[in-house]
Structure 1
Amino acid sequence: MSTDFRKYASGQTLLVDADDTLWENNIYFERSIAAFISYVDHHEYSREEVREKLNEVERENTRLHGYGLTSFRQSLVTCFERLSGESITPEKHERIVSFVQSIADQEIELLPGVAETIPELASRHRLILMTKGAEAEQADKLTRSGLASYFTGVEIPKEKNAAAYHAVVAKYELAPHSTWMIGNSPKSDINPALSAGLHAIYIHHPGTWVLEQDALTKPGAEQKLLDLRNFAELLKHF
Protein backbone atom coordinates (compact mmCIF):
# COMPACT_ATOMS: atom_id res chain seq x y z
CA MET A 1 0.00 0.00 0.00
CA SER A 2 1.42 3.36 -1.01
CA THR A 3 1.67 6.08 1.62
CA ASP A 4 2.31 8.95 -0.82
CA PHE A 5 0.73 12.09 0.57
CA ARG A 6 -2.61 12.84 -1.18
CA LYS A 7 -2.07 10.19 -3.80
CA TYR A 8 -5.60 10.40 -5.11
CA ALA A 9 -6.75 13.52 -6.94
CA SER A 10 -9.23 16.00 -5.53
CA GLY A 11 -12.85 15.51 -6.47
CA GLN A 12 -13.30 11.98 -5.17
CA THR A 13 -16.56 10.98 -3.48
CA LEU A 14 -16.07 9.56 0.00
CA LEU A 15 -18.91 7.60 1.58
CA VAL A 16 -18.23 7.63 5.31
CA ASP A 17 -19.56 5.28 7.97
CA ALA A 18 -20.47 6.81 11.34
CA ASP A 19 -20.53 4.40 14.31
CA ASP A 20 -17.01 3.30 15.28
CA THR A 21 -15.59 5.16 12.27
CA LEU A 22 -16.33 8.77 13.21
CA TRP A 23 -17.32 8.28 16.85
CA GLU A 24 -17.30 5.63 19.54
CA ASN A 25 -20.37 3.42 19.65
CA ASN A 26 -19.91 -0.26 20.31
CA ILE A 27 -17.92 0.23 23.51
CA TYR A 28 -21.11 1.57 25.12
CA PHE A 29 -23.09 -1.46 23.99
CA GLU A 30 -20.36 -3.72 25.37
CA ARG A 31 -20.58 -2.03 28.76
CA SER A 32 -24.35 -2.42 28.73
CA ILE A 33 -24.04 -6.09 27.77
CA ALA A 34 -21.52 -6.71 30.57
CA ALA A 35 -23.97 -5.16 33.06
CA PHE A 36 -26.79 -7.28 31.63
CA ILE A 37 -24.78 -10.51 31.92
CA SER A 38 -23.89 -9.69 35.53
CA TYR A 39 -27.55 -9.01 36.25
CA VAL A 40 -28.61 -12.32 34.69
CA ASP A 41 -26.04 -14.14 36.86
CA HIS A 42 -27.01 -17.42 35.25
CA HIS A 43 -26.23 -20.54 37.30
CA GLU A 44 -26.02 -22.92 34.34
CA TYR A 45 -24.38 -20.88 31.58
CA SER A 46 -21.04 -19.12 31.78
CA ARG A 47 -20.74 -15.43 30.92
CA GLU A 48 -19.37 -16.41 27.52
CA GLU A 49 -22.31 -18.74 26.88
CA VAL A 50 -24.81 -16.05 27.89
CA ARG A 51 -23.09 -13.67 25.46
CA GLU A 52 -23.37 -16.22 22.67
CA LYS A 53 -27.08 -16.62 23.44
CA LEU A 54 -27.45 -12.86 23.16
CA ASN A 55 -25.53 -12.85 19.87
CA GLU A 56 -28.00 -15.39 18.50
CA VAL A 57 -30.94 -13.24 19.55
CA GLU A 58 -29.37 -10.12 18.05
CA ARG A 59 -28.82 -11.90 14.74
CA GLU A 60 -32.52 -12.74 14.67
CA ASN A 61 -33.71 -9.31 15.79
CA THR A 62 -31.58 -7.27 13.41
CA ARG A 63 -33.02 -9.23 10.50
CA LEU A 64 -36.55 -8.57 11.74
CA HIS A 65 -36.32 -5.14 13.35
CA GLY A 66 -33.12 -3.55 12.09
CA TYR A 67 -30.52 -1.83 14.26
CA GLY A 68 -30.57 0.72 17.05
CA LEU A 69 -31.55 0.96 20.69
CA THR A 70 -35.13 -0.28 20.28
CA SER A 71 -33.94 -3.47 18.62
CA PHE A 72 -31.16 -3.88 21.20
CA ARG A 73 -33.62 -3.47 24.07
CA GLN A 74 -35.85 -6.15 22.57
CA SER A 75 -32.84 -8.44 22.21
CA LEU A 76 -31.98 -8.10 25.91
CA VAL A 77 -35.57 -8.79 26.95
CA THR A 78 -35.88 -11.79 24.64
CA CYS A 79 -32.54 -13.19 25.78
CA PHE A 80 -33.50 -12.79 29.43
CA GLU A 81 -36.79 -14.61 28.88
CA ARG A 82 -35.14 -17.46 27.01
CA LEU A 83 -32.52 -17.93 29.70
CA SER A 84 -35.00 -17.73 32.58
CA GLY A 85 -37.78 -19.68 30.87
CA GLU A 86 -40.46 -17.22 31.94
CA SER A 87 -41.90 -13.84 30.99
CA ILE A 88 -40.10 -10.83 32.34
CA THR A 89 -41.63 -8.91 35.24
CA PRO A 90 -42.17 -5.13 35.06
CA GLU A 91 -39.41 -4.60 37.63
CA LYS A 92 -36.89 -6.66 35.69
CA HIS A 93 -37.96 -5.02 32.45
CA GLU A 94 -37.27 -1.61 33.97
CA ARG A 95 -33.83 -2.74 35.06
CA ILE A 96 -32.98 -4.00 31.58
CA VAL A 97 -34.24 -0.76 30.05
CA SER A 98 -31.79 1.07 32.31
CA PHE A 99 -28.89 -0.78 30.66
CA VAL A 100 -30.08 0.50 27.28
CA GLN A 101 -30.68 4.02 28.56
CA SER A 102 -27.06 4.22 29.64
CA ILE A 103 -26.14 4.05 25.94
CA ALA A 104 -28.64 6.75 24.96
CA ASP A 105 -27.23 9.05 27.63
CA GLN A 106 -23.69 8.95 26.25
CA GLU A 107 -22.20 12.10 24.79
CA ILE A 108 -20.76 11.82 21.28
CA GLU A 109 -17.05 11.00 21.52
CA LEU A 110 -15.27 11.55 18.21
CA LEU A 111 -12.51 9.09 17.48
CA PRO A 112 -8.92 10.37 17.41
CA GLY A 113 -8.14 12.53 14.40
CA VAL A 114 -11.71 12.80 13.13
CA ALA A 115 -12.33 16.42 14.16
CA GLU A 116 -9.19 17.56 12.33
CA THR A 117 -9.46 15.25 9.32
CA ILE A 118 -13.09 15.68 8.23
CA PRO A 119 -12.80 19.43 7.44
CA GLU A 120 -9.64 18.80 5.41
CA LEU A 121 -11.31 16.03 3.43
CA ALA A 122 -14.44 18.11 2.87
CA SER A 123 -12.35 20.94 1.41
CA ARG A 124 -11.14 18.66 -1.41
CA HIS A 125 -13.74 15.94 -1.82
CA ARG A 126 -17.46 15.25 -1.70
CA LEU A 127 -18.44 13.59 1.60
CA ILE A 128 -21.63 11.58 2.01
CA LEU A 129 -22.45 9.97 5.35
CA MET A 130 -23.62 6.39 4.90
CA THR A 131 -24.52 4.61 8.11
CA LYS A 132 -27.14 2.01 8.83
CA GLY A 133 -29.41 1.97 11.84
CA ALA A 134 -32.49 3.69 13.22
CA GLU A 135 -32.84 6.86 11.16
CA ALA A 136 -33.80 9.21 14.00
CA GLU A 137 -31.01 7.92 16.25
CA GLN A 138 -28.32 8.24 13.61
CA ALA A 139 -29.49 11.68 12.49
CA ASP A 140 -29.44 12.86 16.11
CA LYS A 141 -25.91 11.56 16.63
CA LEU A 142 -24.73 13.33 13.49
CA THR A 143 -26.24 16.60 14.72
CA ARG A 144 -24.63 16.23 18.15
CA SER A 145 -21.27 15.33 16.61
CA GLY A 146 -20.81 18.79 15.10
CA LEU A 147 -19.83 17.23 11.75
CA ALA A 148 -23.10 17.56 9.81
CA SER A 149 -22.09 20.63 7.81
CA TYR A 150 -19.23 18.76 6.14
CA PHE A 151 -21.50 16.23 4.42
CA THR A 152 -23.34 16.98 1.20
CA GLY A 153 -25.67 14.03 1.75
CA VAL A 154 -26.79 11.63 4.46
CA GLU A 155 -27.95 8.08 3.77
CA ILE A 156 -29.26 5.81 6.55
CA PRO A 157 -30.34 2.51 4.99
CA LYS A 158 -31.75 -0.30 7.12
CA GLU A 159 -28.94 -2.54 5.87
CA LYS A 160 -25.70 -1.76 4.08
CA ASN A 161 -25.53 -4.37 1.35
CA ALA A 162 -24.53 -4.21 -2.30
CA ALA A 163 -28.05 -3.11 -3.27
CA ALA A 164 -27.84 -0.16 -0.86
CA TYR A 165 -24.55 0.95 -2.39
CA HIS A 166 -25.94 0.63 -5.92
CA ALA A 167 -28.89 2.79 -4.84
CA VAL A 168 -26.62 5.53 -3.49
CA VAL A 169 -24.49 5.47 -6.65
CA ALA A 170 -27.64 5.90 -8.75
CA LYS A 171 -29.17 8.59 -6.52
CA TYR A 172 -26.09 10.83 -6.52
CA GLU A 173 -24.94 9.83 -10.03
CA LEU A 174 -21.58 8.71 -8.69
CA ALA A 175 -18.72 7.33 -10.74
CA PRO A 176 -17.56 4.04 -9.17
CA HIS A 177 -13.93 4.64 -10.20
CA SER A 178 -13.82 7.79 -8.02
CA THR A 179 -16.06 6.64 -5.16
CA TRP A 180 -14.77 5.14 -1.90
CA MET A 181 -16.49 3.63 1.12
CA ILE A 182 -14.72 4.32 4.42
CA GLY A 183 -15.52 2.29 7.51
CA ASN A 184 -14.54 -0.16 10.23
CA SER A 185 -16.91 -3.02 9.36
CA PRO A 186 -15.87 -5.68 6.84
CA LYS A 187 -19.46 -6.96 6.75
CA SER A 188 -21.25 -3.66 6.13
CA ASP A 189 -18.67 -1.17 4.88
CA ILE A 190 -15.97 -2.97 2.94
CA ASN A 191 -17.25 -6.17 1.37
CA PRO A 192 -20.61 -4.94 0.02
CA ALA A 193 -19.02 -1.74 -1.32
CA LEU A 194 -16.47 -3.81 -3.22
CA SER A 195 -19.29 -6.04 -4.47
CA ALA A 196 -20.99 -2.91 -5.79
CA GLY A 197 -17.89 -1.96 -7.76
CA LEU A 198 -16.60 0.79 -5.46
CA HIS A 199 -13.23 1.27 -3.82
CA ALA A 200 -13.02 0.80 -0.06
CA ILE A 201 -10.96 1.93 2.91
CA TYR A 202 -10.86 -0.27 5.98
CA ILE A 203 -10.09 1.63 9.18
CA HIS A 204 -9.33 -0.59 12.13
CA HIS A 205 -11.28 -0.28 15.36
CA PRO A 206 -10.47 -2.67 18.23
CA GLY A 207 -14.08 -2.66 19.44
CA THR A 208 -15.88 -3.52 16.21
CA TRP A 209 -19.12 -5.39 16.99
CA VAL A 210 -18.71 -9.15 16.67
CA LEU A 211 -21.63 -9.36 14.24
CA GLU A 212 -19.85 -6.91 11.91
CA GLN A 213 -16.64 -8.89 11.70
CA ASP A 214 -15.81 -10.85 8.57
CA ALA A 215 -12.90 -11.72 6.29
CA LEU A 216 -12.11 -8.92 3.87
CA THR A 217 -13.09 -9.51 0.26
CA LYS A 218 -10.33 -9.27 -2.33
CA PRO A 219 -10.87 -6.20 -4.53
CA GLY A 220 -11.39 -6.58 -8.26
CA ALA A 221 -8.72 -5.79 -10.82
CA GLU A 222 -9.88 -2.19 -11.23
CA GLN A 223 -10.61 -1.62 -7.55
CA LYS A 224 -8.53 -0.45 -4.61
CA LEU A 225 -8.71 -1.48 -0.96
CA LEU A 226 -6.73 0.58 1.54
CA ASP A 227 -6.05 -0.74 5.03
CA LEU A 228 -5.47 2.10 7.51
CA ARG A 229 -4.75 2.12 11.22
CA ASN A 230 -6.72 5.27 12.02
CA PHE A 231 -8.90 7.99 10.50
CA ALA A 232 -6.15 10.61 10.31
CA GLU A 233 -4.18 8.44 7.87
CA LEU A 234 -6.77 9.33 5.23
CA LEU A 235 -4.93 12.63 4.75
CA LYS A 236 -1.91 10.73 3.43
CA HIS A 237 -4.06 9.62 0.51
CA PHE A 238 -6.77 12.20 0.02
Structure 2
Amino acid sequence: MPSLTTIAFDADDTLWVNEPIFTDTRLKFEAILSAYMTIDSGLEKELYAVEIRNLQLFGYGIKGFTLSMIETALELTDYALKGRDVERIIRLGKEMLQHPVQVLPGVEEVLDELENHYRLMVITKGDLWDQENKIARSNLDRYFSAVEIVSEKDTATYAALLKRHQLTENELLMVGNSLKSDIIPLLDLGAQAIHIPFHDTWAHEQLGSAQINGYKFPRLTSISELPGWLKENAGYRA
Protein backbone atom coordinates (compact mmCIF):
# COMPACT_ATOMS: atom_id res chain seq x y z
CA MET A 1 0.00 0.00 0.00
CA PRO A 2 2.77 2.49 -0.88
CA SER A 3 0.37 5.14 -2.20
CA LEU A 4 -1.83 5.29 0.91
CA THR A 5 -2.22 8.90 2.07
CA THR A 6 -5.63 9.08 3.75
CA ILE A 7 -7.43 6.99 6.36
CA ALA A 8 -11.19 7.45 6.73
CA PHE A 9 -13.03 6.21 9.80
CA ASP A 10 -16.63 5.29 10.26
CA ALA A 11 -18.01 6.96 13.40
CA ASP A 12 -20.78 4.93 15.09
CA ASP A 13 -19.42 1.76 16.72
CA THR A 14 -15.98 2.42 15.25
CA LEU A 15 -15.01 5.59 17.11
CA TRP A 16 -17.73 5.57 19.76
CA VAL A 17 -20.56 3.42 21.12
CA ASN A 18 -23.83 3.67 19.21
CA GLU A 19 -25.84 0.48 18.61
CA PRO A 20 -26.03 -0.53 22.31
CA ILE A 21 -27.94 2.72 22.90
CA PHE A 22 -30.51 1.62 20.31
CA THR A 23 -30.64 -1.86 21.83
CA ASP A 24 -31.31 -0.46 25.29
CA THR A 25 -34.01 1.83 23.90
CA ARG A 26 -35.72 -1.09 22.16
CA LEU A 27 -35.98 -2.84 25.53
CA LYS A 28 -37.54 0.27 27.09
CA PHE A 29 -39.91 0.48 24.11
CA GLU A 30 -40.97 -3.12 24.73
CA ALA A 31 -41.63 -2.27 28.38
CA ILE A 32 -44.00 0.52 27.32
CA LEU A 33 -45.91 -1.79 24.97
CA SER A 34 -46.10 -4.59 27.55
CA ALA A 35 -49.11 -2.78 29.02
CA TYR A 36 -50.97 -3.42 25.76
CA MET A 37 -49.75 -6.79 24.52
CA THR A 38 -47.66 -9.86 25.22
CA ILE A 39 -44.09 -9.14 24.19
CA ASP A 40 -42.29 -11.72 22.06
CA SER A 41 -39.55 -11.81 19.45
CA GLY A 42 -42.01 -10.60 16.82
CA LEU A 43 -42.01 -7.06 18.20
CA GLU A 44 -38.39 -6.44 17.26
CA LYS A 45 -39.09 -7.74 13.75
CA GLU A 46 -42.12 -5.46 13.43
CA LEU A 47 -40.11 -2.43 14.51
CA TYR A 48 -37.30 -3.31 12.13
CA ALA A 49 -39.76 -3.68 9.23
CA VAL A 50 -41.18 -0.22 9.94
CA GLU A 51 -37.67 1.27 10.19
CA ILE A 52 -36.72 -0.14 6.80
CA ARG A 53 -40.01 1.01 5.29
CA ASN A 54 -39.31 4.53 6.53
CA LEU A 55 -35.66 4.81 5.54
CA GLN A 56 -36.44 6.49 2.23
CA LEU A 57 -38.46 9.14 4.08
CA PHE A 58 -36.61 9.69 7.36
CA GLY A 59 -33.11 8.44 6.59
CA TYR A 60 -30.85 6.97 9.24
CA GLY A 61 -30.64 8.19 12.79
CA ILE A 62 -32.42 8.62 16.09
CA LYS A 63 -35.19 10.91 14.89
CA GLY A 64 -36.33 8.45 12.24
CA PHE A 65 -36.01 5.61 14.75
CA THR A 66 -38.23 7.49 17.22
CA LEU A 67 -40.92 8.11 14.61
CA SER A 68 -40.75 4.44 13.62
CA MET A 69 -41.25 3.39 17.26
CA ILE A 70 -44.37 5.56 17.48
CA GLU A 71 -45.73 4.20 14.18
CA THR A 72 -45.04 0.61 15.24
CA ALA A 73 -46.71 1.15 18.60
CA LEU A 74 -49.81 2.63 16.99
CA GLU A 75 -50.12 -0.24 14.52
CA LEU A 76 -49.53 -3.00 17.09
CA THR A 77 -52.00 -1.52 19.60
CA ASP A 78 -54.62 -0.94 16.90
CA TYR A 79 -54.26 2.80 17.64
CA ALA A 80 -55.15 2.35 21.30
CA LEU A 81 -51.76 3.81 22.33
CA LYS A 82 -52.35 6.48 24.96
CA GLY A 83 -51.01 9.97 24.62
CA ARG A 84 -48.81 9.67 27.69
CA ASP A 85 -47.15 6.60 26.16
CA VAL A 86 -46.53 8.48 22.92
CA GLU A 87 -44.84 11.09 25.12
CA ARG A 88 -42.77 8.35 26.81
CA ILE A 89 -41.54 7.14 23.41
CA ILE A 90 -40.66 10.69 22.36
CA ARG A 91 -38.75 11.04 25.64
CA LEU A 92 -36.80 7.88 24.78
CA GLY A 93 -35.69 9.53 21.54
CA LYS A 94 -34.64 12.70 23.36
CA GLU A 95 -32.64 10.66 25.85
CA MET A 96 -30.82 8.99 22.97
CA LEU A 97 -29.96 12.35 21.42
CA GLN A 98 -28.62 13.57 24.77
CA HIS A 99 -26.75 10.36 25.62
CA PRO A 100 -23.08 10.96 26.53
CA VAL A 101 -20.64 10.09 23.75
CA GLN A 102 -18.59 7.09 24.88
CA VAL A 103 -15.38 6.96 22.85
CA LEU A 104 -14.25 3.37 22.36
CA PRO A 105 -11.04 2.15 24.06
CA GLY A 106 -7.84 2.92 22.16
CA VAL A 107 -9.43 5.34 19.68
CA GLU A 108 -7.82 8.54 20.91
CA GLU A 109 -4.39 6.93 21.25
CA VAL A 110 -4.57 5.54 17.71
CA LEU A 111 -5.69 8.85 16.20
CA ASP A 112 -2.98 10.68 18.12
CA GLU A 113 -0.37 8.41 16.54
CA LEU A 114 -1.76 8.26 13.01
CA GLU A 115 -2.32 11.99 12.56
CA ASN A 116 1.46 12.39 12.23
CA HIS A 117 1.58 10.05 9.24
CA TYR A 118 -1.74 10.25 7.37
CA ARG A 119 -4.55 12.58 6.56
CA LEU A 120 -7.50 11.48 8.72
CA MET A 121 -11.19 11.75 7.80
CA VAL A 122 -14.57 10.70 9.13
CA ILE A 123 -17.16 9.28 6.75
CA THR A 124 -20.41 8.55 8.54
CA LYS A 125 -24.10 8.43 7.75
CA GLY A 126 -27.12 9.55 9.70
CA ASP A 127 -28.84 12.70 10.85
CA LEU A 128 -26.64 15.72 10.11
CA TRP A 129 -27.27 17.58 13.37
CA ASP A 130 -26.91 14.50 15.56
CA GLN A 131 -23.68 13.35 13.93
CA GLU A 132 -22.15 16.83 14.01
CA ASN A 133 -23.12 17.08 17.66
CA LYS A 134 -21.58 13.70 18.54
CA ILE A 135 -18.34 14.53 16.75
CA ALA A 136 -18.09 17.81 18.66
CA ARG A 137 -18.90 16.19 22.02
CA SER A 138 -16.45 13.36 21.41
CA ASN A 139 -13.54 15.86 21.38
CA LEU A 140 -12.10 13.91 18.44
CA ASP A 141 -12.80 16.53 15.77
CA ARG A 142 -9.32 18.02 16.15
CA TYR A 143 -7.83 14.93 14.50
CA PHE A 144 -9.80 15.11 11.26
CA SER A 145 -9.09 17.25 8.23
CA ALA A 146 -12.55 16.47 6.84
CA VAL A 147 -15.87 15.15 8.15
CA GLU A 148 -18.37 13.78 5.65
CA ILE A 149 -21.90 13.05 6.86
CA VAL A 150 -23.83 11.30 4.10
CA SER A 151 -27.32 9.90 3.68
CA GLU A 152 -26.05 6.53 2.40
CA LYS A 153 -22.70 4.78 2.17
CA ASP A 154 -22.62 3.02 -1.19
CA THR A 155 -20.25 2.92 -4.16
CA ALA A 156 -21.74 6.05 -5.73
CA THR A 157 -21.28 8.02 -2.51
CA TYR A 158 -17.70 6.88 -2.03
CA ALA A 159 -16.85 7.58 -5.67
CA ALA A 160 -18.16 11.12 -5.26
CA LEU A 161 -16.12 11.58 -2.07
CA LEU A 162 -12.95 10.38 -3.77
CA LYS A 163 -13.51 12.91 -6.53
CA ARG A 164 -14.30 15.72 -4.10
CA HIS A 165 -11.15 15.14 -2.08
CA GLN A 166 -9.02 14.46 -5.16
CA LEU A 167 -8.08 10.96 -4.05
CA THR A 168 -7.42 7.87 -6.11
CA GLU A 169 -8.73 4.51 -4.91
CA ASN A 170 -5.23 3.46 -3.82
CA GLU A 171 -4.78 6.54 -1.66
CA LEU A 172 -7.76 5.86 0.63
CA LEU A 173 -8.17 3.28 3.38
CA MET A 174 -11.59 2.98 5.06
CA VAL A 175 -11.87 1.61 8.61
CA GLY A 176 -15.25 0.57 10.00
CA ASN A 177 -17.43 -2.01 11.67
CA SER A 178 -20.11 -2.46 8.99
CA LEU A 179 -19.43 -4.83 6.11
CA LYS A 180 -22.35 -3.37 4.20
CA SER A 181 -21.46 0.31 4.62
CA ASP A 182 -17.73 0.48 5.33
CA ILE A 183 -16.12 -2.46 3.57
CA ILE A 184 -17.84 -3.91 0.49
CA PRO A 185 -18.59 -0.58 -1.30
CA LEU A 186 -14.89 0.38 -1.05
CA LEU A 187 -13.75 -2.99 -2.34
CA ASP A 188 -16.23 -2.71 -5.20
CA LEU A 189 -14.51 0.54 -6.16
CA GLY A 190 -11.06 -1.02 -5.99
CA ALA A 191 -10.21 0.87 -2.81
CA GLN A 192 -9.00 -0.55 0.50
CA ALA A 193 -10.87 -1.27 3.73
CA ILE A 194 -10.26 -2.79 7.15
CA HIS A 195 -13.06 -4.39 9.13
CA ILE A 196 -13.15 -3.96 12.91
CA PRO A 197 -16.28 -5.83 14.08
CA PHE A 198 -18.41 -4.50 16.92
CA HIS A 199 -20.28 -6.82 19.27
CA ASP A 200 -23.67 -5.22 18.62
CA THR A 201 -24.55 -4.52 14.98
CA TRP A 202 -27.92 -3.47 13.54
CA ALA A 203 -29.47 -6.17 11.36
CA HIS A 204 -29.58 -3.79 8.38
CA GLU A 205 -25.77 -3.56 8.41
CA GLN A 206 -25.13 -7.30 8.51
CA LEU A 207 -24.20 -9.34 5.44
CA GLY A 208 -24.12 -13.07 4.83
CA SER A 209 -21.05 -14.75 3.35
CA ALA A 210 -22.73 -14.91 -0.06
CA GLN A 211 -23.06 -11.10 -0.09
CA ILE A 212 -19.33 -10.49 0.44
CA ASN A 213 -18.62 -11.33 -3.21
CA GLY A 214 -15.65 -13.50 -2.33
CA TYR A 215 -13.61 -10.53 -1.16
CA LYS A 216 -10.77 -10.99 1.28
CA PHE A 217 -9.96 -8.08 3.56
CA PRO A 218 -8.12 -7.44 6.83
CA ARG A 219 -10.11 -7.91 10.03
CA LEU A 220 -8.80 -6.56 13.34
CA THR A 221 -10.18 -7.31 16.79
CA SER A 222 -9.78 -3.70 17.96
CA ILE A 223 -8.73 -0.33 16.65
CA SER A 224 -5.63 -0.54 18.82
CA GLU A 225 -4.22 -3.05 16.33
CA LEU A 226 -4.44 -0.58 13.43
CA PRO A 227 -1.04 1.18 13.81
CA GLY A 228 0.78 -2.14 13.98
CA TRP A 229 -1.07 -3.42 10.93
CA LEU A 230 -0.19 -0.26 8.99
CA LYS A 231 3.47 -0.47 9.94
CA GLU A 232 3.62 -4.05 8.72
CA ASN A 233 1.57 -3.68 5.55
CA ALA A 234 1.79 -0.06 4.46
CA GLY A 235 4.71 1.54 6.20
CA TYR A 236 4.30 4.90 7.84
CA ARG A 237 4.49 8.02 5.72
CA ALA A 238 7.19 10.42 6.94
Q: Same fold (TM over 0.5)?
A: yes
Structure 1: distance between partners of 2:117 and 2:136: 22
The residue aligned with 2:217 is: 225
- Partner amino acid, structure 1, of 2:218: L
1:12 matched to 2:9? The reply is no
Q: Calculate the aligned-residue CA RMSD, in Å.
A: 1.8
The residue aligned with 2:55 is: 62
The residue aligned with 1:3 is: none
- Partner amino acid, structure 2, of 1:33: R
1:126 matched to 2:119? The reply is yes
Task: Give, in angstroms, the shift of residue 43 of structure 1.
Answer: 6.7
Structure 2: distance between partners of 1:63 and 1:33: 21
Kept in 1, the 8 Å contact 2:121–2:145? The answer is: yes
Structure 1 gaps, min length 5: 1-7
Task: Give, in angstroms, the shift of residue 180 of structure 1.
Answer: 1.1
**Secondary structure in 2 aligned to 1:128?**
strand
The residue aligned with 1:152 is: 145
1:23 matched to 2:34? The reply is no
The residue aligned with 1:78 is: 71
- Partner amino acid, structure 2, of 1:214: L
Task: Give, in angstroms, the shift of residue 196 of structure 1.
Answer: 2.1
The residue aligned with 1:198 is: 191
Kept in 1, the 8 Å contact 2:37–2:77? The answer is: no
Deviations 1:177-209 (Å, cap 9, x if unpaired)? 121111001111111121222111100100111
The residue aligned with 2:27 is: 34
1:48 matched to 2:41? The reply is yes
Percent identity reads 33
The residue aligned with 1:171 is: 164
Q: Normalising by the residue count of structure 1, what TM-score does the alignment of the two structures yield?
A: 0.90
Q: Normalising by the residue count of structure 2, what TM-score does the alignment of the two structures yield?
A: 0.90
**Secondary structure in 2 aligned to 1:22?**
coil
- Partner amino acid, structure 2, of 1:162: T
The residue aligned with 1:181 is: 174
Structure 2 gaps, min length 5: 231-238
- Partner amino acid, structure 2, of 1:227: R
Kept in 2, the 8 Å contact 1:194–1:219? The answer is: no
Report runs of 4+ in structure 1 exceeding 3 Å deviation: 8-11, 42-46
Task: Give, in angstroms, the shift of residue 175 of structure 1.
Answer: 1.6
